[in-house]
Every structure is written in C-alpha cells, then in structure tokens.
Chains A and B, each alone.
Chain A
Amino acid sequence: MFELPSGAEIQSIVATLQSNVGFFIPEIYLSLLFMFLILLDLVVKGRKNNILPITTLVGLAGTLFFIYQQHALKAGELFFGMYVLDEFALFFKYFFVLSGMLAVIVTMADEQFDREVKSMGEYYALIVSMVIGMIMMASSADLMMIFLSMELVSFTAYILTGYFKRSPRSSEAALKYLVYGAVSSGLMVYGFSLIYGLTAETNIVKIGAELAASNPNSLVMIFATLLILAGFGYKIGAVPFHFWSPDVYEGAPTPITAYLSVASKAAGFALLMRFFFVAVPHGGVPIENKLSIDWKTLLIFISIASMIYGNVVALWQKNVKRLLAYSSIAHAGYLLLGIIVIDKFGTQATLFYLLSYFLMNFGAFYVVTLIANKTGSENLDDYRGLGKKMPLAGAALTVFLISLVGLPPTLGFIGKLMIFSALLAKGSLYIWLALIGVMTSVISLYYYMLIPLNMYLRESNMHDDKEMNPGILAQALMAVLMILTLYFGLFFTPLADFAKYSSAIFGAVLH
C-alpha cells in the first residue's frame, strides 16, 4: 500500500522542511528556552532567588521579537499543510506569550508558593511549554496537529493545576481536570475520525473543499460536530462542557487559574474559529449546506446556556476564585456571540473581546493573589474593609470588575459594544441574542459588585485598621493594568485596528 519515496522525493521533502523552518523560529526558540530552563533549574536549585522567573520573563520577551519579525512573512501553509502562519496566528502568538509573562509575574507575587512548595523546579519550564502548545493550537491546520497541540496544552495544565502537591484541593482539581480532559479529547478524536471517514483528508482546508464538493450524510455530520464541540467546548469552558472549571479554578494555584482562564480559553477559541471558519465550507455561509447551519445553531445554544448559567450560578458564590470561574463561563458565552455571526466584523469583535478579557481578568486575578497574600483567604467575607487597608488594590479590583460587567469607561465596555454591534449589524436577525447578552450582564453586575460591597461598604471584623502594603512593584503593576483598562476604554483605536488586522484567517472566506 505504501510506496517508499524515491531519493528525489526525499530530497524535495527535506528541502521543503528546511525552507519552512524559517517560518517556525518562535516555536523553536521557545523549545530551546524550555530546555534551557530545565537545565538552569539544576544549577540554581535549592536557592531562594528570582533567577528562574526572571530568565523566563526575559526569554519570553525575546520571543516577542521573533514573532514581530514574522509580520514580514507571507501567510500560508507550512510543513505540508500541518501548520499555518497567518495574521490570526500571529495575534494569538503575542497573546499567549504575553499571558505567559503575566502568569510568571503573578507567580512571583504569590506567596502561597513559598508555603506550599519547596522548589519551583520545572514550574516555569512548564509555563513555557504551555505557551508552545497554545501557539501550536492557534496555528494548526491539520486534525493530527490540532489533537497533538491540544494534548500538549492539556498535559502541562494538569501538572500545573496540581502543583501544590500537599494541598488536597489542588490535587483534586488536577485529577478532575484530567478525567474531564481525557473524556472530552477522546470524544473529539472520535469526531475527527468521522470527519476523516467522510472526506479522507486531515488538512482542514482540504476538508472544507471536500465537504463543499460532496454532499455528506447530515446525520453523521451532526454527530461528528457534536463530538468535536465536546473537545473545543471543554477548552473554552462553555456550558455544558464546563463542569471542570469551578473546581479547577478554585483548587489550582491562582496564577495558573488566571493563566487557564485567559490563555487556555483563548487557545480554545483560536482553534474553534479556525476550524469552524475553514473546515466548514464557504466560511459557514453556504446556500444549501446543513452542516454549517448545525454548527451555528449549536454554538448559539451553547452561548446562551453559558451566559445564563455562568451569570446566574455565580450569584451564590462565596469564594472569589470560584466566582470568577463562573464569570469566565459567562464570558465564553459572550465570546461565542462574536463567532456566531460568521463575518469579519464578528471575528474582529471576538479578538477584541479576548484582548479586553486578557487585561481585566489577569488584573482581577492579580489583585486577588495580592489580597490572598495579606489575608490568607479568598472568601468574600474576608474582603471586608479591605478598601481602607489596601486602597490601590481595592480601586484596581473595582475597575477590573466594572470592566468585566462591561460599563464605561473601561475596556470591557468596548468589548461588549463590539460584540453587540457585530450582532446588530446583521439587522434584526440576532437582536434576541443581544438582548440575552445585555440582560445577563445586568445580572452579572450583582455578583461582581459583591466584592466592592465587601471591600468598601462593610467594616472589617478585625479591629486593626493598618494599611497593608503589597510592595512597590506589585502596586506599580496593578496601577499599570488599571490605567490600561481605563485608557483603552477611552481610546481603543489601536487595539481595534490590531484586532481587525488579525482577523485574516488563512483559508477562510469571510465577508
């Protein structure tokens, strides 16, 4: 069945690989950084210092330079259709590297690590490997690559979630994450195999062409769609694939929670958008193709369920991390709204919303970490009177939460504005979706405001009114994140332009 390739063929394969390596520099660089960090860990082990995190930060910052250079390259497929390089992928490369850096910074601020673990060992190397995995997720154009990169991200995430080995909650979270992850990727692979059975292709561009040309059995397609959505839905944390997220977000170390809730979710969205827009023929706007309609309808249901479930269940939460977990389910719903419209504007809105979510969610988790350092608790009741004790942290957290609600003058408002504009640009077709979106965001106001309510409106049980100072660097970073959230809320042109530039997906035909 298989013929051995001839010498000339092998030579051409090698030549293609060699020429394509030039398009793969950030990934190679990150792999080297990963190995370097493991080696470095052997040398500096046992000493309490910041060599490892700072090396990681510098290393990741270096990646930005290599990514920047890729803007000059032409968008296209690499490695025989395994991988693509396009503006869309570049957007996510920046996104993941920056979120990796922020995860490292939050980790450096988190004092829980000092108590829970003796050495940070492979922790930072794992963060880097997760960055690689997510970058590959955003760039995969082949079912095999999609699966491999997703598993790379998942496995790293399992380890990082359970990094507090002696904490039962952390271990429980990791186990739950693993079990759910295993089931959902199993389902997804089954879905992939059905698609392969229908089209005999693994490259998503070719799948798209094949599905457009042939008329596949719609029952099989719906089944495959559902199975694949299980995998993607798990990554983005949308209802009904969300069951892992509250427990994992609560049990994992806070920097990892922030990292998962922003970067891992964004990676899921990158994959979802690329697969949905490319593999589904004509970018999902066909004339007589049931497949795409089914995709869209399913996504609409998932989106509504996520917005309602996430926002309503969050009302009863007493733990801030858990509360933010449910809020992140709701935000997955809002993000899906931008995908449902299947056009350039919607893609731009989704990417923009991801940027705003990046800033405000990382900001919120960062402040939660700093507060937990001082109070040792993430319970709402222990936030009482914090507004007086940590004035800047209180103000910053309030800004991030207001941004998560989507009130001006914050970035979150513009994110929601873009999403709803994308919906209403379609005329009256999606007004009801926008209505659900705005009504659930009113609900979300109540639980987000519980945190400022405790911080400012209630007095602390403890009687010492001493100010707690989280340190000058932490204060500065908090202030920067807060000012950025406000600044971009008023002058968002650069971010929106960047999102527009990045909405070009290779192989997708969007209007």
Chain B
Amino acid sequence: MLSLIVFLPIIAGLIILAVPSSQKQIIRIVSLLAALAQGVLAVLIWKGYDPALPGITAGPGGSPLGSFQFVEKIPWITLNLGSFGPLNIEYFIGVDGISITMVILTALVSAIGVLSSWTIQKQVKGYFILYNILAAAMMGCFVSLDFFLFYVFWEIMLLPMYFLIGIWGGPNREYAAIKFFLYTLFGSVFMLLVMIGLYFSVLDPVTGNHTFSLVAMATQSNFIKDAILGPDNVMWRYVAFIVLFIGFAIKVPMFPFHTWLPDAHVEAPTPISVILAGVLLKLGTYGMIRINFPIFPEVFQASLFVIGIFGAINIIYGALCALAQKDLKKMVAYSSISHMGYVLLGLSAGNSEGMVGALYQMFNHGTITAMLFLLVGVIYDRAHTRHIEKFGGLASYMPVYAAFVTVAWFASLGLPGLSGFISEALVFVGAFSSVTTRYIAMVAVLGIVFGAAYLLWSLQRMFLGQRRPDAAYDLVAGEDGHEHIHFHDWKGKIDLDGRELAMLVPLMLITIFLGVYPMPVLGMLTSSINKLVEVLSPVILPQL
C-alpha cells in the first residue's frame, strides 16, 4: 500500500507521457485522479494505523515489524565488495507516528497543488510530468527507512523543482532556480559522505552485515565501536552530526542558510510555492528527527542550546524580515522561515511536549502556509501584482476572499481556536520546561508579537479602508447602485470561484477542526515521540 502511494504519481506521469501535449484537460485530469487516489490511500493508511506502536527503533528481535507499520522490505541491490563483504541496499519503507502525519500532509498538499496548477497554460504536459515526479519523490522521502533509498528520493526532488521554478517561474527565475539547486545540493553531498560513513559503522543486528537501514542506525548498540562513526570516534561523530544538520537546515531553511527561500518563493508559480512551503520545508525538520537526532543522540543533547538559539533567531529574524516586505508573497515566505523556527525551538527542548509541538507545528504550518500561498495566488492572478500598497479596501468588494484571508492570517499568527495556536503553545510549554531552552523561549515569544504585527498590518492595508489612488484595480458603478471592483484583463469571477474554494475550504476546515480538537494528529504522534525522547535521552547511552 505504501509503495502504491509513492508510485501512483509516477504511473500518472507515464500515462501523461503517452498523451499528446495538445490534450491539456486530459493531462490535468489524470494528475488530479492520481492525487485523489493518493488521498484515498492516505485515508486508508490513516484508518489502518495503530497509534500504539512506537516506531523510531526496531521492535523486539531487531525486526521493524511490531514497531513500524505498513512495512515493505525487499532486497534491492546486493553486491559483493571484496573484503568489505556484501553491500545490501534494501527497498525498505514503513511508517510510524512521525512519518504518517507527513504522509497525510503530502497527499493533501499534492492534491491541492494539482488543483492550483489548473491555471498553468505553458507546456502543460512537461509541467505535470515534473510535478508528478516531485510528488512521488516527496512521498518517498517520508516513508523511506533505508538511508540510501531516502537519499535517492531526496535528490530526485531537486531536478523537477529546478525546472518547475526555472520554466514556469517569474522574471528572475533562472537565478532563483539555480540558487535553490546549488544550495540544496551543497547540503546533500555531505549527507552522502555521512551516509557512506554510517554504512561502514553500523551492523544489522539480524543479519550481521553492514546496512543502510535507518531503523538499525537508531539503536546505538548496532554501531561498531571503533568504526569511523562509531561511539569511540567522538570527533567524527560531531563533524557528521554538524554537516548532516546543515544539510537538513538548508532545507528548513534555518538562518543563515535561508536566503534561497524568498527567491524561490517569489519566482515560483503558486502551486510550486504551495508544495515548497507545505511539504518540502518539512523534509528538513523531518530529516533531523528521523536521521540526524536518533543516530547521534549524544551530540544532539550537547547541541540543544545551539539549535534553540538558531530556532529563536529564525522566529524573530523571519518575523522582522516579513515586517519589512512590500511584496505579499515575500512576506509569506519570511513568515514561513519564522514559523519553521518554532519547529526548531520545539525540537531543541528535547522533551515530549516540545517535540510533539514541533511535529504538530510541521503539520499545521503545512496546511496554513499552503492556504496563505493559495490566497496570495488568488489576488496575483487577478491583479498581476502582489504589492501590498497596491490594494486597499478589498474587504468590501471581495467579502469571501477577505473572510478566508482573515482566518488564514489569524491561524498563522496563532489565534486560539485555530490549529497554529495549539502547536505553538506546545512548543513554548516544552521550551519553558527545559532548563536549557528556558531563556531562549522567553526571547522567542517576541516573535509572536512581531508575527501579529506583520500579519495584522498587511491585513489592514489590503482589506480595510478605501481604494488607494494607485491601486491595481478600478471601481465601476454597477447597475444596482453599488460600486464593483474591476481588474484589468481578468475575465473570471471577481470573488473566489469554485476551484479556488475547492482548494481552500478543506484546508480551512482542517485548520479550524485541529484547532478545536487536535487529538486525531496528536494521538498518532505521542507514542512515537515518547519513544524518540527515550532514544535521545542521555540515560540510555551507557556505552558512550
């Protein structure tokens, strides 16, 4: 079942390859069907998921079964490498509490991305082929339990993303696309070296061979004592942790590796921004949780303070940058940086509350930011500008749109009753209860104030008051005596149309529902997080 959810988009891509490029509608429908089927599978997986099983490490007897679920483990590549014994790479996928939320998020955002791509007119065939490869690779990353497989999926994402930004992007797309590509590749090549080093350092407890299995790597007793990344090689373990962390931090993106993100977002078309903010950024923090922290728990414990500091910088710096933006999309991009800072802060707390908050924040940020970018896209489609100063008084002319924007904006700033509040609250509860991060949390709270500032200020400038003299739209007197808004060369409905509602309503409902009753997500997370905290806690590392 997991294989199917990963490879469905690839199948759709192959079908699209056979469709002549003039049949745009068929291509779109095939993609949509694949995305919907992915959604159905995600729901089935969610239904069949047993939240009691912890995941993270192997179950009893070193087997992933009994700990992970929906496991598929097939030998993929077996090689004989002379004196180093056989090289075993497995097609090894499965989910636990950490990944299942991300799988559901990916399926949801991918489907919404397809709907949002309906307006793409240029080279539709190429677009959807690349889109489907991207969707498959993202899903693959979240379910991989073999480092090699994870790395392959991780790298496969880069090329489609490069083209999706580079061909369908805005005026400065060449720069943004290659910047994204170089940045992420720079992070991932070091990951490659760490991966090889880990391979030579870890033995599979069942077979006794070297292994790429992330499940085996999460148990410290599987390490060879004097191997390059074994417990005796303290220095190299620190180096490996740091380069791996930077590799993932680039994706998050963590200050000071964040500069590619605003560029990529501003140039990318709306659906790609949605995917980028909704799913891709989570891969960074997911990688940390799945790979970086459990493999090097003692280094993680030693660097809690530093991670917390970076989290706080992200929160405050991102919010301050967002405050200064004139471009609405850039503002949302910086708000993403700010909100991913909460995830880092939650992780650095190192306790269950903080970790649960971080993961819940990942899920909520996915849905809320997807909404934000969709809403930015709505106004950009109509007005062909995203300049905040070019609007004013929109609330009276586009009431539905204004209502959605208000809810999304409030969700983003963490208003109680909406999902963002719960995750941010949990993050702060966790951070305050940890001695290491208590003072960092006190400073980081300022981020919420700044966040409220830029969100409310932009809301006020765009939606309240009167039309500005240099606004991007005209007002015409209607037959009913009221003034109506008129965008140049926009033929569609002025307020949200059916397709846009179809994208926004589900996200909105999820945001409100999870703000009132978060247990569906939190319930899946808890046992895995407890296990993770146990794995990371310094007590169980006697051999170090």
Q: What residues make up the interface of A, taking CB atoms closer than 8 Å to B?
A: 343-345, 348, 388, 398, 402, 407-409, 413, 416-417, 420-421, 424-425, 427-428, 431, 434-435, 438-439, 441-442, 445-446, 449, 452-453, 456-458, 491-493, 496-497, 500, 503, 511
Determine if A428 and B83 form an interchain contact, defined as CB atoms under 8 angstroms apart. no
Determine if A453 and B84 form an interchain contact, defined as CB atoms under 8 angstroms apart. no
Determine if B83 and A343 form an interchain contact, defined as CB atoms under 8 angstroms apart. yes
Enumerate B167-216 residues with CB–CB distance to A below 8 Å: 167, 173-174, 177-178, 181-182, 185-186, 189-190, 192-193, 196-197, 199-200
Determine if A420 and B178 form an interchain contact, defined as CB atoms under 8 angstroms apart. no
Determine if B177 and A457 form an interchain contact, defined as CB atoms under 8 angstroms apart. yes
For A496, the closest partner residue in chain B by CB is B79
Question: Could you say which residues of chain B place their CB within 8 Å of the CB of A449?
Answer: 162, 178, 181
Determine if B193 and A438 form an interchain contact, defined as CB atoms under 8 angstroms apart. yes
Q: Does B543 contact A (CB under 8 A)?
A: no
Determine if B77 and A345 form an interchain contact, defined as CB atoms under 8 angstroms apart. no
Known interface pairs A442-B186, A445-B182, A446-B178. Does A424 touch B156 (Cβ–Cβ under 8 Å)? no
The listed residue with most A CB atoms (<10 A of its CB), out of B83, B173, B185, is B185
Partner of A493, one of B77, B123, B236: B77
Known interface pairs A428-B233, A442-B189, A449-B162. Does A500 touch B80 (Cβ–Cβ under 8 Å)? yes
For A399, the closest partner residue in chain B by CB is B159
Partner of B77, one of A388, A420, A441, A491: A491
For A453, the closest partner residue in chain B by CB is B174
User: For the complex, what is the distance from the CA of A491 to the CA of B78, rounded to whole Å?
Assistant: 9
Q: Does B166 contact A (CB under 8 A)?
A: yes
The listed residue with most A CB atoms (<10 A of its CB), out of B159, B163, B177, B189, is B189
Determine if A408 and B155 form an interchain contact, defined as CB atoms under 8 angstroms apart. yes
Question: Could you say which residues of chain B place their CB within 8 Å of the CB of A420?
Answer: 192-193, 196
Question: Could you say which residues of chain A place their CB within 8 Å of the CB of B84?
Answer: 345, 425
Partner of B197, one of A348, A388, A424, A500: A424
Determine if A421 and B178 form an interchain contact, defined as CB atoms under 8 angstroms apart. no
> Beyond A345-B81, A438-B190, A496-B79: 12 further Cβ-contacts under 8 Å?
A345-B82, A402-B159, A409-B152, A425-B84, A442-B186, A445-B182, A445-B185, A453-B174, A456-B167, A457-B174, A491-B77, A497-B79
Enumerate B231-248 residues with CB–CB distance to A below 8 Å: 233, 236
Cβ-closest 6 pairs across A and B: A438-B189, A344-B82, A408-B152, A457-B166, A424-B196, A408-B155
Determine if A431 and B193 form an interchain contact, defined as CB atoms under 8 angstroms apart. yes
Determine if A439 and B177 form an interchain contact, defined as CB atoms under 8 angstroms apart. no
Question: Could you say which residues of chain A place their CB within 8 Å of the CB of B189?
Answer: 438-439, 441-442
Report the minimal beta-carbon distance from B181 to chain A, rounded to whole angstroms.
7
Question: Could you say which residues of chain B place their CB within 8 Å of the CB of A439?
Answer: 189
Known interface pairs A438-B189, A446-B182, A457-B177. Does A428 touch B236 (Cβ–Cβ under 8 Å)? yes
Q: Mind listing 15 A-B residue pairs with CB under 8 Å?
A: A343-B82, A343-B83, A345-B82, A345-B83, A416-B192, A424-B228, A428-B228, A438-B192, A445-B181, A445-B182, A452-B163, A456-B163, A456-B166, A457-B173, A493-B77
Question: Could you say which residues of chain B place their CB within 8 Å of the CB of A452?
Answer: 163
For B239, the closest partner residue in chain A by CB is A431
For A441, the closest partner residue in chain B by CB is B189
User: For the complex, what is the distance from the CA of A456 to the CA of B177, rounded to whole Å?
Assistant: 12
User: For the complex, what is the distance from the CA of A445 to the CA of B180, rounded to whole Å?
Assistant: 12
User: For the complex, what is the distance from the CA of A511 to the CA of B197, rounded to whole Å?
Assistant: 20
Question: Could you say which residues of chain A place their CB within 8 Å of the CB of B185?
Answer: 407, 442, 445
Q: Does B151 contact A (CB under 8 A)?
A: yes
Q: Does B464 contact A (CB under 8 A)?
A: no
Partner of B159, one of A343, A345, A407: A407
Report the minimal beta-carbon distance from B15 to chain A, rounded to whole angstroms.
17
Q: What residues make up the interface of B, taking CB atoms closer than 8 Å to A?
A: 77-84, 123, 151-152, 155-156, 158-159, 162-163, 166-167, 173-174, 177-178, 181-182, 185-186, 189-190, 192-193, 196-197, 199-200, 228, 233, 236
Report the minimal beta-carbon distance from A315 to chain B, rounded to whole angstroms.
12
For B183, the closest partner residue in chain A by CB is A442
For A499, the closest partner residue in chain B by CB is B79
For A407, the closest partner residue in chain B by CB is B155
Determine if B182 and A500 form an interchain contact, defined as CB atoms under 8 angstroms apart. no
The listed residue with most B CB atoms (<10 A of its CB), out of A424, A438, A446, is A424
Determine if A425 and B200 form an interchain contact, defined as CB atoms under 8 angstroms apart. yes
Determine if B193 and A424 form an interchain contact, defined as CB atoms under 8 angstroms apart. yes
User: For the complex, what is the distance from the CA of A100 to the CA of B118, rounded to whole Å?
Assistant: 49
Question: Could you say which residues of chain A place their CB within 8 Å of the CB of B228?
Answer: 424, 427-428, 431
User: For the complex, what is the distance from the CA of A453 to the CA of B199, rounded to whole Å?
Assistant: 35
User: For the complex, what is the distance from the CA of A511 to the CA of B82, rounded to whole Å?
Assistant: 8
Question: Could you say which residues of chain B place their CB within 8 Å of the CB of A408?
Answer: 151-152, 155-156
User: For the complex, what is the distance from the CA of A442 to the CA of B152, rounded to whole Å?
Assistant: 16
For A443, the closest partner residue in chain B by CB is B182
Question: Could you say which residues of chain A place their CB within 8 Å of the CB of B163?
Answer: 452, 456
Question: Could you say which residues of chain B place their CB within 8 Å of the CB of A445?
Answer: 181-182, 185
User: For the complex, what is the distance from the CA of A497 to the CA of B82, rounded to whole Å?
Assistant: 10
User: For the complex, what is the distance from the CA of A449 to the CA of B196, rounded to whole Å?
Assistant: 26
Determine if A453 and B166 form an interchain contact, defined as CB atoms under 8 angstroms apart. yes
Question: Could you say which residues of chain A place their CB within 8 Å of the CB of B200?
Answer: 421, 424-425
Partner of B182, one of A343, A442, A511: A442
Question: Could you say which residues of chain A place their CB within 8 Å of the CB of B79?
Answer: 492-493, 496-497, 500
Report the minimal beta-carbon distance from B134 to chain A, rounded to whole angstroms.
14
Question: Could you say which residues of chain A place their CB within 8 Å of the CB of B158?
Answer: 407
Determine if A457 and B193 form an interchain contact, defined as CB atoms under 8 angstroms apart. no
Determine if A500 and B178 form an interchain contact, defined as CB atoms under 8 angstroms apart. no
Question: Could you say which residues of chain A place their CB within 8 Å of the CB of B78?
Answer: 493
Report the minimal beta-carbon distance from B17 to chain A, rounded to whole angstroms.
10
User: For the complex, what is the distance from the CA of A507 to the CA of B159, rounded to whole Å?
Assistant: 45
User: For the complex, what is the distance from the CA of A496 to the CA of B199, rounded to whole Å?
Assistant: 18
Question: Could you say which residues of chain B place their CB within 8 Å of the CB of A427?
Answer: 228
Partner of A344, one of B83, B167, B186, B199: B83
Question: Could you say which residues of chain A place their CB within 8 Å of the CB of B166?
Answer: 453, 456-457
For A345, the closest partner residue in chain B by CB is B82
Question: Could you say which residues of chain A place their CB within 8 Å of the CB of B236?
Answer: 428, 431
Partner of A453, one of B80, B82, B123, B178: B178
User: For the complex, what is the distance from the CA of A453 to the CA of B174, rounded to whole Å?
Assistant: 8
Report the minimal beta-carbon distance from B186 to chain A, rounded to whole angstroms.
5
For A416, the closest partner residue in chain B by CB is B192
Determine if A435 and B193 form an interchain contact, defined as CB atoms under 8 angstroms apart. yes
Determine if B77 and A492 form an interchain contact, defined as CB atoms under 8 angstroms apart. yes
Question: Could you say which residues of chain B place their CB within 8 Å of the CB of A398?
Answer: 159
Report the minimal beta-carbon distance from B146 to chain A, rounded to whole angstroms.
13
User: For the complex, what is the distance from the CA of A427 to the CA of B233, rounded to whole Å?
Assistant: 11
For A494, the closest partner residue in chain B by CB is B79
User: For the complex, what is the distance from the CA of A438 to the CA of B185, rounded to whole Å?
Assistant: 10
Question: Could you say which residues of chain B place their CB within 8 Å of the CB of A388?
Answer: 123
Determine if B167 and A417 form an interchain contact, defined as CB atoms under 8 angstroms apart. no
For A429, the closest partner residue in chain B by CB is B228
Partner of B192, one of A417, A425, A491, A496: A417
For A405, the closest partner residue in chain B by CB is B185
For B235, the closest partner residue in chain A by CB is A428
Determine if A500 and B174 form an interchain contact, defined as CB atoms under 8 angstroms apart. no
User: For the complex, what is the distance from the CA of A457 to the CA of B162, rounded to whole Å?
Assistant: 10
For A413, the closest partner residue in chain B by CB is B155
Partner of B199, one of A348, A421, A441, A491: A421
User: For the complex, what is the distance from the CA of A238 to the CA of B178, rounded to whole Å?
Assistant: 29
Determine if A417 and B196 form an interchain contact, defined as CB atoms under 8 angstroms apart. yes
Report the minimal beta-carbon distance from A148 to chain B, rounded to whole angstroms.
33
User: For the complex, what is the distance from the CA of A398 to the CA of B130, rounded to whole Å?
Assistant: 13
User: For the complex, what is the distance from the CA of A446 to the CA of B200, rounded to whole Å?
Assistant: 31
Report the minimal beta-carbon distance from A505 to chain B, rounded to whole angstroms.
13
Question: Could you say which residues of chain A place their CB within 8 Å of the CB of B81?
Answer: 345, 348, 421, 500
User: For the complex, what is the distance from the CA of A452 to the CA of B162, rounded to whole Å?
Assistant: 10
User: For the complex, what is the distance from the CA of A453 to the CA of B169, rounded to whole Å?
Assistant: 13
Question: Could you say which residues of chain A place their CB within 8 Å of the CB of B233?
Answer: 428
